[in-house]
């Protein structure tokens, strides 16, 4: 293991992650700009309208929050979204390139595509099956409960998928399948009443748009990471 994590290997992992994360983060921003953000803006209109009809105490809290700084809609919002997406993408690319190093390298963008598909399964599909993306103004369970279940879903999916793919023993593969489904058998935390200021059609459109945007992101991130990791050899 000492030979894997030497300085040259670290530089290779970091360089591949920076290049792949930068490109994939910008791609995600472009897809969100076209598909996701327009839906968010529509949902925010419904959320603001619902807040305007709330009782006085809620209105006071809403106006207090509105005084806090937030980026303006348009290119300012897109810029800060891009910064967040690129930062997140570099972090995920570091995970992918480190996993590739541990597994003995990659054959380029094709095997990187499979790593990206695994990332999409672990970090989007598995959590979204219990906690699908929600538009602004939707009722949700307490944040701490949702964060804890999201972490369980991600850890269960990553460990389970790794055992299913890499383990040779049938019993270990069964354990992997159990880890994969265990968080969903427990069940994600849900609000007492499912309500939303936005129409249900808009909520469904947001889920589909988020799924497509994340698929494009993860497949691109895996492909770019595999490509640059091989080129850095």
* Structural domain contains residue 186: no
* Structural domain contains residue 72: yes
Rounded Cα distance between 201 and 179, Å, is 33
* Structural domain contains residue 37: yes
Q: What is the mean pLDDT of residues 162-188?
A: 94
Rounded Cα distance between 24 and 66, Å, is 32
List of residues 6+ apart from 57 with CB closer than 8 A:
none
Q: What is the mean pLDDT of residues 201-224?
A: 95
Extract the runs of DSSP E, i.e. beta strands, from 177-232.
Answer: none
* Structural domain contains residue 22: yes
**CA angle 96-149-201, nearest 5°?**
90
pLDDT in tens, 125-173: 999 999 999 988 888 889 999 999 999 999 999 999 999 999 899 999 9
Give the residue numbers spanning the domain of 104.
Answer: 7-140+191-231
* Structural domain contains residue 206: yes
Structurally, the chain folds into a number of domains equal to 1
Rounded Cα distance between 52 and 92, Å, is 39
* Structural domain contains residue 54: yes
* Structural domain contains residue 166: no
Rounded Cα distance between 31 and 164, Å, is 32
pLDDT band at 76 (very low <50, low <70, confident <90, very high): confident
* Structural domain contains residue 177: no
Closest to 15 measured CA to CA, from 222, 225, 220:
225
């Amino acid at each position: 293991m000492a030979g894997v994590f030497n300085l040259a290997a670290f530089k290779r992992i970091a360089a591949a992650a920076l290049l792949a994360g930068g490109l994939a983060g910008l791609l995600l921003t472009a897809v969100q700009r076209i598909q996701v953000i327009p839906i968010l803006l529509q949902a925010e209109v419904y959320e603001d309208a619902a807040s305007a009809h709330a009782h006085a105490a809620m209105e006071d809290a809403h106006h207090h929050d509105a005084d806090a700084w937030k980026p303006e809609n348009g290119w300012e919002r897109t810029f800060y979204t891009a910064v967040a997406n690129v930062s997140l993408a570099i972090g995920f690319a570091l995970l992918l390139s480190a996993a590739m190093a541990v597994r003995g390298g990659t054959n380029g963008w094709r095997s990187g595509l499979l790593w990206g598909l695994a990332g999409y399964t672990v970090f989007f599909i598995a959590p979204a099956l219990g906690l699908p993306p929600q538009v602004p103004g939707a009722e949700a369970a307490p944040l701490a409960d949702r964060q804890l279940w999201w972490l369980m879903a991600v850890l269960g999916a990553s460990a389970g998928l790794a055992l299913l793919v890499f383990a040779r023993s049938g019993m270990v593969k069964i354990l992997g399948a159990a880890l994969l489904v265990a968080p969903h058998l427990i069940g994600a935390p849900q609000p007492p009443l499912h309500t939303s200021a936005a129409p249900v059609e808009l909520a469904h459109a947001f889920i589909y748009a988020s799924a497509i945007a994340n698929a494009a992101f993860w497949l691109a991130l895996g492909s770019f990471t595999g490509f640059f990791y091989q080129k850095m050899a």
